[in-house]
Chains A and B, each alone.
Chain A
């Protein structure tokens, strides 16, 4: 399978990754045997990026992935996420550190390759989102501290939320990666939309991640297909 370089991380990953989220469900609710068989087959196919998050099955996805990794001991790239709850605003560093420690415990790892901010990003930081300023001034320094401590290798964002705020965070060139929504129903991260097109306009965000040297991970490429 074709491999591409994950931006400035220099890490080589297969063009198809393994999503351990609730949409597919295998790594959340599948049997242990099916999970191990699927991961083993993915490895044989050349897949080497595995993506999980604390909220996938309320920790179940991380636990299950950790169990399978412990059994198979593959040389892979593991990414998880951190969602900072609204009530933890103002103490982002503590929230990020606590979330990562819990993730490492469930995964049974001393370090993850990639930690991604799992909040919607906005200009104003309204409820249910985190402001671009807070991302740059609070979250990024906290992630950088974890990197210096050797608990993560790289950090990034899930690029969902308000487009100008996402552009601002990407253009700051302090992030390694972004998860980007890019699919047949909404191609706006990669090209201009026709006027009046019925979808959120990401404003060619992929050109900005590229200029910033960021690696990108396509999400919802099937727009939630069964």
Chain B
């Protein structure tokens, strides 16, 4: 989801996708197409966008992030502090999903 396939050495070397795409590499490729969200200023990064998107649903109580480093924790917390993505970002996403990414 960060658009980069390299993983931290503490993380598991490959991740099977759960219910997103056929492979992790395919997910990375699709995530790259989401980078327009960052380029257009809707979010600071795809990691930030992912956390803030999950919080847009009122039915979602909390979101889990797994951490490899102290810095990952700080980054995720800063993203969560920014709150749910705004309407304009959701509208942009809806258009991207219509293109079936």
Contact = CB atoms under 8 A, between A and B. Distances in A.
A154 interface: no
A225 B62 contact: no
Contact of B7 (A30, A42, A179, A226): A226
Contacts of B58: 210
Nearest to B72: A24
A21 B66 contact: yes
A25 B50 contact: no
A217 interface: yes
A216 B61 contact: yes
Interface in A115-165: 160
Contact of A185 (B5, B12, B20, B81): B20
Interface string A32-67: 001001100110010101010000000000000000
Contact of A184 (B6, B11, B50, B64): B50
A22 B15 CA distance: 10
Counting chain A CB atoms within 10 Å of each CB, which of B8, B15, B62, B93 scores highest? B62
Interface string B64-96: 111111101110110011010000000001000
Given A2-B80, A16-B80, A217-B63, A41 B73 contact: yes
A13 B62 CA distance: 7
Contact of B6 (A6, A19, A226): A226
A222 B100 contact: no
User: What interface size band does chain B fall in?
Assistant: 35 or more
Interface string B38-60: 00000000110111011111111
Contact of A224 (B1, B59, B80): B1
B62 A25 contact: no
Given A49-B62, A183-B20, A184-B93, A29 B10 contact: yes
Contact of A181 (B12, B18, B49, B55): B18
A186 B20 contact: yes
B62 A14 contact: yes
Contact of A6 (B30, B57, B62): B62
Contacts of A183: 1, 20, 50, 53-54
A5 B60 CA distance: 10
A194 B51 contact: no
Interface of B: 1-2, 4-8, 10-12, 15, 17-21, 24, 27, 30-31, 34, 46-47, 49-51, 53-70, 72-74, 76-77, 80-81, 83, 93, 97-98, 100-101
- When A and B form their complex, which 3 residue pairs have the shortest distance between CB atoms, in order from nearest? A24-B66, A25-B10, A218-B63
Given A23-B12, A26-B68, 5 more contacts: A24-B11, A38-B73, A185-B34, A207-B59, A220-B20
22 contacts: A22-B11, A23-B11, A23-B12, A23-B15, A23-B66, A26-B66, A29-B10, A42-B73, A47-B77, A183-B54, A187-B53, A197-B100, A209-B59, A216-B59, A219-B18, A219-B63, A222-B2, A224-B24, A224-B27, A225-B1, A225-B31, A225-B50
